[in-house]
């Protein structure tokens, strides 16, 4: 009797596997997304699911640590987000919305690396060689060791890798590359997994640093498969879009370093270049308007002074609008509820909009106090002096909590010559700034 052939279905949206076909994926809820995998594809699923290698476990005390080797990308901001430079043999995913500058940045990085004498391959499946050449002229990226391959078949890319020794590869983009061994469409889970798996293997075997460009959807996640994020070593995303002057690259995952730092770039005719003097790029000291307040957030090791803006206007809807750009909506709702309750401001009859200038996303709670101040200022139509900076996290019961690295933040404020700060607790050193202690939100109202 012959052994029964094993069947396996896989959701092309989320990667769920099932021995039975289903009309609707039970994991992500997508309709008609399950396809049957052939034997080769099943093999890949198995290989990527279980960790490879047959090494026997050893006592941790016997194992010697390995130093992570790195080389510079000759771009200070990228080096910073990567945790100190490029790691040979690492796979890095760079995601961002169309036009944000992924191709521009990586072509320049490729040329920087080629300039160091390392063979670098730029694989483009989106643009023609001629288009890339035009961009290279603009970016001054013409280097002898930078090679261009206009190709969408993975097998051809692999063939190229067997012809010449490369130290860095840039794939632009993962959504356009496909493997002929697999029947499903480019960008599907099966394709992306196979391609990433093959790239990962080649990166580790030959110690090649590989950058993969990926498009992201409106919701901000990588278009198509999440499996990609799990498989690669490092994930970096561009925040904001092409309309912003500054483009921010944030680390989400890094097997070789911290993810706390951001990279700040600006789009210029000569490319996407590391922004200079970033701490003063997110606010202006010009005339103050109602609804604007300043704060200092920490992005990794760097303090950044930010302007937060609020617009409070009477609502004609049964459910007033609450919308935040660059700030979490849930947190805004919490702060608004607190204002209503504690300070008896009837915000339930008002629309409230929040905007963080410069396209940065605030992930820290230390901006709470400034958000409250901006809302109150807009509500009362009274401007806050641009000499004042607000720092503090607000709790559900209306206390203002201390924030970490207050000293670093105050030092930064002093550097930019602000004269007043509203903070949760008197600091040990005020760096010449007049500090007001605001440990409860009611005190904020008193002050204002």
Ligand X SMILES: Nc1ncnc2c1ncn2[C@@H]1O[C@H](COP(=O)(O)OP(=O)(O)O)[C@@H](O)[C@H]1O
What is the binding site for Mg ion (CB under 5 A)?
103
Contact pick of 88, 89, 95, 96 for ligand X (by CB under 6 A): 96
Closer residue to ligand X (CB): 46 or 138: 138
Closer residue to ligand X (CB): 213 or 421: 213
Closer residue to ligand X (CB): 138 or 201: 138
Closest contact distance (angstroms) between CB of 31 and ligand X is 30
> What is the 3 state secondary structure string of 259-328?
CCCEEEEEEECCEEEECCCHHHCCCCCCCCCCCEEEEEEEECCEEEEEEEEEEEEECCCCCCCEEEECCC
Find the part of the chain contacting ligand X (CB under 6 A) among 68-76, 102-110, 142-150, 319-327.
102-110
Closer residue to ligand X (CB): 91 or 94: 94
Those residues whose C-beta lies under 8 Å from the C-beta of residue 316, and which sit 6 or more positions away, are none
Q: Which does 321 bind (CB under 5 to 8 A by kind): ligand X, Mg ion, none?
A: none
Q: Which does 201 bind (CB under 5 to 8 A by kind): ligand X, Mg ion, none?
A: none
Per the CB < 8 A criterion, the answer to whether 122 and 132 are in contact is yes
Contact pick of 29, 46, 98, 330 for ligand X (by CB under 6 A): 98
Contact pick of 83, 89, 95, 101 for ligand X (by CB under 6 A): 101
Closest contact distance (angstroms) between CB of 274 and ligand X is 16
Nearest to 326 by CA among 424, 250, 402, 435: 250
Nearest to 356 by CA among 254, 239, 255: 239
Find the part of the chain contacting ligand X (CB under 6 A) among 96-104, 350-358, 391-399, 404-412.
96-104
Number of residue whose CB is nearest Mg ion: 103
Per the CB < 8 A criterion, the answer to whether 87 and 113 are in contact is no
220 is a contact residue toward ligand X (CB under 6 A): no
Closest contact distance (angstroms) between CB of 106 and ligand X is 8
Per the CB < 8 A criterion, the answer to whether 8 and 15 are in contact is no
For residue 311 the two structure tokens come to 């617009």
Contact pick of 52, 131, 142, 242 for ligand X (by CB under 6 A): 242
Cross-strand bridge partners of residue 21: none
Find the part of the chain contacting ligand X (CB under 6 A) among 31-39, 94-102, 357-365, 412-420.
94-102
Q: Which does 267 bind (CB under 5 to 8 A by kind): Mg ion, ligand X, none?
A: ligand X
If you write DSSP's letter for every residue of 139-205 in order, what string do you get?
A: HT---TTEEEEE--BHHHHHHHHHHS--SEEEEE-TTT-B-TT--SPTTSHHHHHHHHHHHHHHHHH
Contact pick of 92, 104, 184, 388 for ligand X (by CB under 6 A): 104
Size of the site for ligand X (CB under 6 A): 12
Contact pick of 49, 59, 60, 269 for ligand X (by CB under 6 A): 269
Contact pick of 13, 70, 102, 108 for ligand X (by CB under 6 A): 102
**Rounded CA gap, 110 and 90, in Å?**
15
Per the CB < 8 A criterion, the answer to whether 84 and 257 are in contact is yes
- In the numeric block, the tokens 């924030």 are attached to 403
Collapse the DSSP code of 348 into the 3-class scheme (helix H, G, I; strand E, B; otherwise coil) and give the result. Answer: helix
Per the CB < 8 A criterion, the answer to whether 249 and 78 are in contact is yes
Contact pick of 28, 40, 99, 419 for ligand X (by CB under 6 A): 99
Q: Which does 432 bind (CB under 5 to 8 A by kind): Mg ion, ligand X, none?
A: none
For residue 20 the two structure tokens come to 């039975």
Find the part of the chain contacting ligand X (CB under 6 A) among 23-31, 98-106, 142-150, 277-285.
98-106
Query: x/- binding map, residues 116-155, to ligand X, per CB under 6 A?
Result: ----------------------x-----------------
Per the CB < 8 A criterion, the answer to whether 429 and 442 are in contact is no
Contact residues toward ligand X (CB under 6 A) are 96, 98-104, 138, 242, 267, 269
């Amino acid at each position: 009797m012959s052994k029964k052939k094993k069947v396996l279905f896989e959701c092309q949206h989320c990667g769920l596997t099932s021995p039975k076909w289903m009309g609707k994926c039970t994991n992500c809820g997508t309709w008609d997304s399950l396809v049957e995998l052939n034997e080769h594809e099943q093999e890949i699923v198995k290989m990527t699911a279980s960790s490879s290698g047959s090494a026997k476990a050893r006592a941790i005390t016997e194992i010697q640590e390995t130093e992570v080797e790195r080389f510079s990308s000759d771009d200070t901001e990228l080096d910073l987000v990567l945790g100190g430079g490029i790691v040979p043999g690492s796979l890095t995913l760079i995601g961002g919305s169309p036009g944000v500058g992924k191709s521009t940045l990586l072509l320049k990085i490729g040329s920087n690396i080629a300039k160091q004498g390392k063979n670098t391959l730029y694989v483009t499946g989106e643009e023609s060689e001629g288009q890339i050449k035009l961009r290279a002229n603009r970016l001054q990226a013409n280097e002898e060791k930078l090679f261009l391959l206009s190709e969408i078949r993975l097998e051809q890319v692999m063939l190229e890798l067997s012809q010449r020794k490369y130290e860095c590869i840039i794939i632009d983009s993962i959504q356009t590359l496909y493997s002929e061994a697999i029947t499903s469409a480019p960008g599907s889970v099966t394709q992306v997994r196979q391609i990433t798996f093959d790239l990962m293997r080649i990166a580790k075997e030959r110690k090649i640093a590989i950058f993969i460009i990926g498009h992201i959807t409106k919701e901000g996640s990588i278009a198509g498969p999440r499996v990609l994020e799990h498989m690669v070593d490092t994930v970096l995303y561009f925040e904001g879009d092409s309309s912003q002057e500054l483009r921010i690259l944030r680390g989400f995952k890094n097997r070789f370093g911290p993810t706390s730092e951001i990279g700040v770039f600006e789009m210029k005719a000569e490319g996407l270049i590391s922004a200079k003097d970033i701490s003063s790029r997110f606010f202006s000291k010009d005339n103050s308007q109602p609804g604007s307040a300043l704060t200092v957030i920490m992005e990794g090791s760097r303090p950044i002074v930010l302007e937060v803006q609020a617009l409070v206007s009477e609502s004609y809807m049964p459910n007033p609008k609450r919308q935040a750009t660059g700030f979490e909506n849930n947190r805004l709702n919490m702060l608004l509820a607190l204002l209503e309750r504690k300070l008896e401001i009837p915000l339930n009859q008002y629309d409230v909009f929040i905007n963080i200038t410069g396209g940065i996303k605030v992930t820290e709670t230390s901006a709470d106090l400034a958000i409250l101040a901006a809302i109150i200022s807009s509500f009362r139509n009274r401007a806050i002096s641009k000499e004042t900076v607000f720092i503090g996290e607000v709790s559900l019961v209306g206390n203002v909590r201390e924030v970490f690295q207050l000293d670093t933040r105050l030092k930064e404020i002093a550097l930019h010559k602000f004269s007043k700060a509203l903070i949760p607790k008197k600091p040990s050193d005020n760096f010449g700034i007049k500090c007001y202690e605001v440990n409860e939100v009611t005190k904020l109202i008193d002050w204002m």
